[in-house]
Structure 1
Amino acid sequence: MGPGTDLRLAAYAVCVEDGRVLLAHYVPARGRSNWTLPGGRVEHAEDPSDAVLREIAEETGYDAVVERLLGVDSRVVPAAERTVPGRPELHNVGVFYQVRITGGRLRPEPDGTIAESVWTPVPDVTRLRRSSLVDIGLTLARTRPPTGHVAPVPVGGLIQH
């Protein structure tokens, strides 16, 4: 990576039950809020499947199990389009998992950037200001491509990086 770039490995949970998807409302200290999938950065020496379960617990209060690897998405977010202004270009590699909630209680993330998590009817997702990660995850869950890859989602309107 050259100067002025970030590389981020992240793991995301796609949890669909009874026609509803679990979404997290991301509210940064600076920048725009949006809806996204529970998940986040994989820590040093952490397995991505462990990271996604840790992130679900931190952000939502739920316990979960990974049921299936859905796929991997690689995207470059230009500096000018970062959610938080002033950050360099970001190369985000996201590992998407199908997860099932096994326990816990839904709550906001304590001292974090997730203000709330909500079970949202899948058809209602198109009306939300959301991360393109939501569309990628739902497409992976719906189509289950053998390659584990779907076409990039165009960013604009209600869809953000």
Structure 2
Amino acid sequence: MSSQGSFRLAAYAVCIVDGRVLLAHYRSENWTLPGGRVEHAEDPFDTVIREVAEETGLTAVVERLLGVDSRVIPSAEARAGIEHQNIGIYYQVRITGGDLRPEPNGETPESAWTPLHEVPALRRSSLVDVGLALSQTNPPTGHVPPVPVGGLIQH
């Protein structure tokens, strides 16, 4: 971390089944994609599987890489008051087992299979929109235009 700001590398799961997407309800009241920070020396491929298990109780396998997104949150909007860059690696995953449950002693009190048509009305992280855009447009570059943040969409 430099004095200019903070940096985070994270991996996120996009799982869509029968017109529903798996979302995690973060303690900040925002809905987001299951996922989180890549630990030191951890492969992001393993991170996304670990995070789905920790946050939702479900077992996942990676089907394919969807893309990479870089988000810079200005210091005026960032929680820590310093500019923050989040690089997210998005994977399409398939659930192979487990039972949906809250994260034990964690920051995700609930997860849910949410109909895609209900997502725009949710207070959600911009990560959700990025993941859905990557999944639905399948860009060969693995990159989508920035998602405007405002209204119901939060950083």
Where on the TM-score scale, by shorter chain, does this alignment land: which range? over 0.9
Matched, 1:93 2:92: no
Normalising by the residue count of structure 2, what TM-score does the alignment of the two structures yield?
A: 0.96
Amino acid at match of 1:54: R
* 1:13 aligned partner: 13
Residue 12 (structure 1) shift? 0.1
Distance in 2 between residues matched to 1:87 and 1:104, nearest whole Å: 38
- Structure 2 gap ranges (5+): none
Once the two structures are superposed, what CA deviation does each residue of 1:78-131 show, in whole Å capped at 9, x if it has no partner? 23323xx33422110000000000001100001111010000000100000000
Q: How does 1:92-131 map to 2 (within 5 A)?
A: 92-131=86-125
1:75 corresponding residue in structure 2? 71
1:26 aligns with 26
Distance 2:116 2:77 in 1: 26
Identity %: 70
Distance in 2, Cα, partners of 1:54 & 1:89: 28
Query: Which of residues 132, 135, 147 is equivalent to 1:138?
Result: 132
What secondary structure sits across from 2:139 in the alignment?
Answer: coil
TM-score normalised to the size of structure 1? 0.93
- What's the secondary structure of 2:49's corresponding residue? helix
